[in-house]
């Protein structure tokens, strides 16, 4: 089972069906004597109707549902907290089956920033619980690395967001989103005793178009440190039978794992690549990003050149502006040189304050001056100007604050994580510190 090495409990449980590709499911159905079109029906339930229980799959036989239940799980994420209004950036804190918390961020399109129509949505997803790379400005790794997400836990972030939207609008389109594994019971009214041999329903007749149009793999964790599980999840989300999100609408971010960038370049997918650069010299980058000591800029740039040459895709540099660290005028020229060398776009992101860290956001005037200086160097650049300090937007910050709130003072538990209540901004504690508008770590 993917992502379970070294954890006997996770090895003992049934695998989640959303961690498997269509050919793997078709092969299993062939072993069971089931026709291939049954796999199409099953996949339509998983990724079009976003089902969370076998009993919802009313065009599958009861015998097939029982067999699926014997061999596989269907797990869903539980919404613990949500911050942000519907028409603005929204952060979702999810609890997984083992109790671990992860974050996703839903970002409405900004035509200036993303070039998309205003009804488009980008989802920023997590790939790990915590992070081992220890970027000095980031909340994700403050409590260390816990584990990799499995493919279905990455995929489920998209499904859970879309179930939430359907529930908010009264559209159905899936289960209620209750946590845990949904099994089959003898009195379930769903699966038919015998399913008629009909072709799978056409996806266009099942649900409204997807809420999520674009994916950015920039949430908690270092995506390329969970390489195998990430690529399998993205294959599912990209496939026409799965998420049906185009590869060119998917951006993978990395803090600079040069060998994995080279490996990604040799994959058949045309994903976009974003580099969490945050410093244009080894001196600055090593100060705030320990990964630079293992893969300094020369190694990183060479790997990016390989990716550019193999894919012919525009690269993006994510550059968090941190006051007094990387926002000085003398940082502009080396950054511009790197951008021109790789034909990269620079996305400037004002720092989101993290409680317990001393870093600060530059003033608006400094941000605008840095952008203007880059543009004078003939570099394509954007500055994230959205308002949004009402949410804990720095990667991992809402998770960290919630876990500490659950633990209570001096590490003594005040209440179990099962006592958390999903809700809007009013559920924040008065002492929590406001943060920025979108993922930037």
Quick one: pLDDT band at residue 284, thresholds 50, 70, 90? very high
Q: Is the pLDDT of residue 395 over 80?
A: no
**Model confidence over 214-233: pLDDT tens digits?**
999 999 999 999 999 999 99
**Percentage of residues of the chain with pLDDT beyond 70:** 74
Q: What does the buried/exposed string (b/e) look like for 42-81 if buried means 16 or more CB atoms within 10 Å of the residue's CB?
A: bbbbbbbbbbbbbbbbebbbbebbebbbeebbbbbbbbbb
- Strands of the sheet with 214-217, listed across from one edge: 78-83, 90-95, 101-108, 121-124, 214-217, 250-254, 272-276, 315-321, 344-350, 381-383
Region 99-121 average pLDDT: 74
Name the more confident of 424 and 320: 320
- pLDDT given at position 109: 74
**Percentage of residues of the chain with pLDDT beyond 90:** 63
Q: Is the pLDDT of residue 30 over 80?
A: yes
**Model confidence over 399-440: pLDDT tens digits?**
666 766 766 665 454 444 444 444 433 333 222 222 333 343
**Model confidence over 60-80: pLDDT tens digits?**
999 999 999 999 999 999 999
Quick one: pLDDT band at residue 118, thresholds 50, 70, 90? low
CB 219 within 8 A of CB 103: yes
Pick the CATH number of 77-171+208-427 from 3.40.1360.10, 3.40.50.1000, 3.20.20.370, 3.20.20.70: 3.20.20.70
What 3-state DSSP class applies to 147?
Answer: strand
Average pLDDT along the chain: 82
Q: Which CATH architecture has domain 8-72+177-189?
A: Orthogonal Bundle (1.10)
- pLDDT given at position 169: 75
Q: Is the pLDDT of residue 178 over 50?
A: no
| Residue 395 appears among annotated catalytic residues | yes
For the ranges 161-165, 174-178, 187-191, 353-357, the maximum mean pLDDT occurs at 161-165
Question: Domain boundaries in the chain?
Answer: 8-72+177-189, 77-171+208-427
- Pairwise CA distance, residues 76 & 213, whole Å: 21
Q: Is the pLDDT of residue 117 over 60?
A: no
**Model confidence over 228-272: pLDDT tens digits?**
999 999 999 999 999 999 999 999 999 999 999 999 999 999 999
Give residue 341's region: left, alpha or beta (phi > 0; psi -120 to 50): alpha
Name the more confident of 372 and 177: 372
Among residues 103, 153, 222, 318, the one annotated as catalytic is 103
Quick one: pLDDT band at residue 153, thresholds 50, 70, 90? very high
Quick one: pLDDT band at residue 387, thresholds 50, 70, 90? very low
Quick one: pLDDT band at residue 106, thresholds 50, 70, 90? very high
| Residue 304 appears among annotated catalytic residues | no
CB 353 within 8 A of CB 394: yes
Among residues 124, 138, 304, 395, the one annotated as catalytic is 395
Region 277-290 average pLDDT: 96
- pLDDT given at position 192: 59
- Pairwise CA distance, residues 51 & 55, whole Å: 9
Quick one: pLDDT band at residue 386, thresholds 50, 70, 90? low
- pLDDT given at position 355: 79
Q: Is the pLDDT of residue 146 over 80?
A: yes
What DSSP line would sit under 165-216, residue for residue?
Answer: HHHHTT---S----SEE----TT-S-SBSS---PPPPPGGGTSPPPS--EEE
Q: Is the pLDDT of residue 137 over 90?
A: no
Looking at 43-57, 114-128, 326-340, which range is the least confident one? 114-128
- pLDDT given at position 144: 82
Name the more confident of 419 and 210: 210
Region 373-382 average pLDDT: 97
Region 179-204 average pLDDT: 44
Burial bucket for residue 115 (CB in 10 Å: 0-12, 13-18, 19+): exposed
Q: Is the pLDDT of residue 391 over 70?
A: no
Name the more confident of 387 and 67: 67
Quick one: pLDDT band at residue 353, thresholds 50, 70, 90? confident
């Amino acid at each position: 089972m993917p992502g379970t090495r070294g954890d006997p409990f996770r090895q003992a449980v049934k695998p989640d069906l959303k961690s498997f590709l269509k050919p793997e499911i078709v092969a299993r159905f062939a072993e069971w004597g089931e026709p291939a079109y049954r796999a199409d029906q099953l996949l339509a339930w998983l990724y079009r109707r976003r089902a969370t229980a076998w009993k919802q799959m009313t065009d599958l036989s009861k015998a097939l549902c029982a067999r699926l239940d014997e061999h596989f799980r269907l797990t869903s994420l539980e919404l613990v907290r949500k911050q942000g209004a519907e028409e603005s950036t929204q952060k979702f804190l999810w609890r997984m089956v083992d109790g671990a918390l992860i974050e996703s961020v839903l970002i409405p399109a900004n035509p200036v920033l993303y070039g998309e129509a205003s009804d488009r949505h980008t989802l920023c997803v997590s790939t790990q619980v915590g992070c081992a790379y220890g970027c000095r400005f980031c909340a994700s790794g403050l409590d260390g690395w816990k584990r990799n997400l499995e493919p279905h836990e990455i995929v489920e972030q998209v499904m859970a967001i879309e179930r939430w939207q359907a529930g908010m609008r009264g559209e159905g389109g899936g289960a209620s989103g209750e946590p845990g594994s949904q099994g089959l019971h003898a009195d379930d009214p769903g699966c038919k005793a015998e399913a008629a041999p009909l072709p799978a329903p056409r996806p266009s007749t099942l649900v409204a178009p997807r809420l999520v149009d674009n994916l950015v793999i920039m949430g908690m964790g270092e995506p390329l440190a969970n390489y195998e599980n990430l690529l399998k999840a993205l294959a599912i989300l990209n496939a026409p039978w799965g998420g049906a999100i185009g590869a060119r609408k998917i951006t993978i971010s990395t803090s600079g794992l040069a060998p994995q960038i080279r490996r990604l370049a040799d994959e058949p997918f045309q994903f976009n690549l974003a580099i969490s650069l945050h410093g244009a010299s080894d001196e600055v980058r090593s100060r705030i990003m320990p990964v630079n000591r293992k893969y300094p800029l020369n190694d990183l740039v060479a790997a990016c050149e390989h990716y550019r040459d193999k894919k012919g895709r525009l690269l993006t540099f994510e550059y968090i502006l941190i006051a007094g660290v990387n926002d000085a005028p003398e940082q502009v020229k080396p950054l511009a040189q790197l951008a021109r060398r790789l034909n990269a776009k620079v996305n400037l992101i004002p720092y989101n304050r993290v409680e317990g860290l001393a870093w600060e956001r530059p003033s608006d005037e400094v941000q605008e001056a840095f952008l203007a200086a880059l543009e004078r160097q003939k570099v394509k650049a954007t500055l994230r100007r959205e308002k949004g300090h009402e949410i804990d937007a720095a990667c991992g910050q809402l998770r960290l604050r919630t876990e500490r709130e659950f633990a209570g003072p001096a590490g003594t538990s005040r209440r179990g994580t099962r006592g958390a209540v999903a809700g809007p901004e009013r559920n924040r504690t008065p002492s929590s510190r406001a943060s920025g508008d979108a993922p930037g770590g």
